[in-house]
Amino acid sequence: MDEKRNIKKPSKLLLYTDGIRAFWEFIYYCFFAIFYKIKKTGDGHPVLVIPGFLGSGFSTKILRKFIDKHGYTSYDWGLDRNLANFADLEFLKIKIEDLHRRHQQKVTLIGWSLGGVYARQLAKSQSAIVRQVITMGSPFNGVTEPNNAKRMYNWVKKREGTPEISDEVLADLPNPAPVPSTAIYSKLDGIVSWKVCMERQEDATHQNVRINSSHFGFGWNPATLKIVVDRLQYDANNWKHFKR
């Protein structure tokens, strides 16, 4: 992806309005939830939802509830706030194995922002028991590129003593997971560049889907919710393409 060489962090306008836009997206979601007709067609398979940097299970509650209403079984990641410690992946590997054993079904992984970076890495190491990966505003194609979260990340890393990400892991992050994957991104993202939230190359099972959303509003933006439900219907014999 040649564009990656010219990555710039989102403008100050997008940054300073991101929270405001997320609020209005929440209001829009409230009206959407009233009139949206739920079709409980899910097969009950487990869906693990991983929050973004500094997010907790509370931030993904709306998304998980929406997933449950459609007939799937969602799970919080099981930790407190996401402090960008890649050591958390070891805990999540065990959790995925437990969910697979309990349900006797493969697990769908959904990650918001940094949570999506985690989800893709987990899918690479546990592809045999992961059904698919869905990311939302996740900068897996350039976590070290300029962004509007770096200052906060550096402060948290210093405060918490978070270990550095190894060069080996950094080099592997852009590589696609060997499972069906959907990268949801927005050109209105005020935290990370949309260019680093996309698969470098699309193919039959690795796709990018653009929506209009703030970074903080991905978890309840109705466009995100509809894409997630569409993709959860995926099965090994029928990869359904979302109409963009």
- pLDDT tens digits, residue range 163-194? 888 999 999 999 999 999 999 999 999 999 99
Strands (E), 113-192: 130-136, 181-186
Section 10-26 average pLDDT: 98
pLDDT at 105: 96
Q: Taking 60 as the threshold, does the pLDDT of residue 4 lie above it?
A: no
Task: Give residue for tokens 């709306």.
Answer: 62
> Taking a C-beta distance cutoff of 8 angstroms, is the pair 114, 138 a contact?
yes
Rounded CA gap, 51 and 69, in Å? 20
Q: What is the pTM of this model?
A: 0.94
pLDDT at 162: 86
pLDDT at 2: 44
pLDDT in tens, 45-54: 999 999 999 9
Backbone φ and ψ of 32, nearest 5°: -60, -45
pLDDT at 243: 47
Rounded CA gap, 224 and 116, in Å? 14
75 SS3 class: strand
pLDDT at 204: 86
pLDDT in tens, 193-240: 999 999 999 998 999 999 999 999 999 999 999 999 999 987 655 555
pLDDT in tens, 117-130: 999 999 999 999 99
pLDDT in tens, 54-74: 999 999 999 999 999 999 999
pLDDT band, very low/low/confident/very high, at 5 (cuts 50, 70, 90) = low
> Taking a C-beta distance cutoff of 8 angstroms, is the pair 191, 200 a contact?
no
- Residue ranges of alpha helices (H) inside 1-148 are 12-35, 61-69, 88-103, 114-125
DSSP string, 188-236: T-SSS-GGGGS-SS--SSEEEEEE---STTTTT-HHHHHHHHHHHT-BT
108 SS3 class: strand
The terminus-to-terminus CA distance of the chain in angstroms comes to: 21
Q: Taking 50 as the threshold, does the pLDDT of residue 86 lie above it?
A: yes
134 SS3 class: strand
pLDDT at 1: 42
What is the chain's mean pLDDT, rounded?
A: 93
Section 80-101 average pLDDT: 96
pLDDT at 34: 95
Q: Quickly count: other Cβ atoms within 10 Å of residue 113's Cβ.
A: 29
Lookup: tokens for 21 = 């836009």
pLDDT at 124: 97
Rounded CA gap, 83 and 156, in Å? 7
Rounded CA gap, 56 and 35, in Å? 28
pLDDT band, very low/low/confident/very high, at 75 (cuts 50, 70, 90) = very high
> Taking a C-beta distance cutoff of 8 angstroms, is the pair 122, 93 a contact?
yes
pLDDT at 235: 66
